[in-house]
Structure 1
């Protein structure tokens, strides 16, 4: 049994962290047995979520975890992909995780309307997930500094959303009319794509980015079909602190 440590469930999704969500999607796609527990960053191998415990070993980082699981249990999702498909999947994954991710974070922590919606979620992370009784306002200031240093925090909301919309446009174009990102069969790259799209769509704030994503009929259809196939029987877990 794989124990997955992640942030609290919110906004009707398995997780608001696209990385936690991605890992859980991968586990459901491959049919691996797992349980979910509330993370404590003081116990996280890399100081972030998600992390897992398997056979007495704790491991962090969603992608390193997935690669470890592939080596240990086999690779049923990606074994038929061509080198070109793997290259496209890798490129999309890196764009989502190193570009689109920061736009999602910005819309939650910097944008005032986004922060009003996200603050109750952030409050559920204290003290367990963040590792102590840290005021939520202090958490926000820390995130603002991180975003400023990273670069995204130096932009206006309109500029950030225009960059994110360019990412979504590229993904929609790559997918075209295929049922999944790379072909007519799901791959591990779909675990990440689905988690990021839902992270945008689930935002209760009606942003330009959300509306644009919902206007891409192929992506909306993709999300609906993915949910029906892999998350139809999902119910919020009874998450307990580690």
Structure 2
């Protein structure tokens, strides 16, 4: 999207803040996706939302925060608490030691969800909370190609990053069913993003 050259390195999955994604540039590490985007924008003089109005930027920021700081809890709950990393271990073809590492995170994720508050809801309440978020994204997207029209922006990356997990990374989850069956415009949106930015997805 920004035409910034990069090299993917999967040797160290978690960065200096214990989170992913993270990057290294000129020997220095940077963590947190939003801070990385802002840093790269300044470093390479890129404006990832230059085509948006102030109102569109405001809505985009709200959507991005909802995805990264709210919908994420639903994904974490399903992946680590309900599925206990079983689907992910198959999809990612994890080694035995990688599998054990992911399993070791279950208790930590469960505790984090409880402290945040999401983990205190019953399962039906959790599903309904995330359904409303997914529906909000679907309603705002409508029939547009991307979140704000024909040109994708950085928020599309955040939304795709989350929605794609439901489409391809959470088999059997209620969220997979929602996106594929109840909100077809989001499924089509995921395929558009995939085809535009990852033509080598299957390789």
| Structure 1 and Structure 2 fold alike (TM over 0.5) | yes
Match of 1:224 in 2: 191
C-alpha RMSD of the superposition: 2.4
CA positional deviation for 1:93: 0.4
TM-score, length of structure 1 as denominator length: 0.74
Which ranges of structure 1 fall in alignment gaps of 5 or more residues? 1-28, 128-132, 237-242
Task: Provide closer, same or farther for how the CA distance between residues 212 and 124 of structure 1 changes in structure 2, counting only shifts above 3 A.
Answer: same
Q: Which residue of 1 aligns with 2:166?
A: 200
Determine if contact 1:109/1:115 at 8 Å carries over to the other structure. yes
Task: Tell me which residue corresponds to 2:49.
Answer: 78
- The correspondence for 2:58, drawn from 62, 82, 87, is 87
Structure number with greater CO (CA < 8 Å, separation at least 6) is 1
TM-aligned CA deviation for residue 110 of structure 1: 1.0
> Could you say which residue in structure 2 is the equivalent of 1:50?
21
- The more displaced of 144-153 and 161-170 is 144-153
Deviations 1:173-232 (A, max 9, x none): 011111110122111111111111101111353222211111212111111111111101
Alpha carbons 1:102, 1:152 under 8 Å: kept? yes
> Which structure shows the bigger proportion of residues in helix conformation?
2
Residue 118 of structure 1 corresponds to 88
Q: Distance in 2 between matches of 1:178 and 1:135?
A: 40
Alignment of 1:149-228 (within 5 A): 149-215=115-181, 216-228=183-195
Q: 1:102: how far off?
A: 0.4
1:66 maps onto 2:33 in alignment: no
Cα deviation, residue 41, structure 1 = 6.5
Q: 2-side partners of 1:202 and 1:161: how far apart?
A: 18
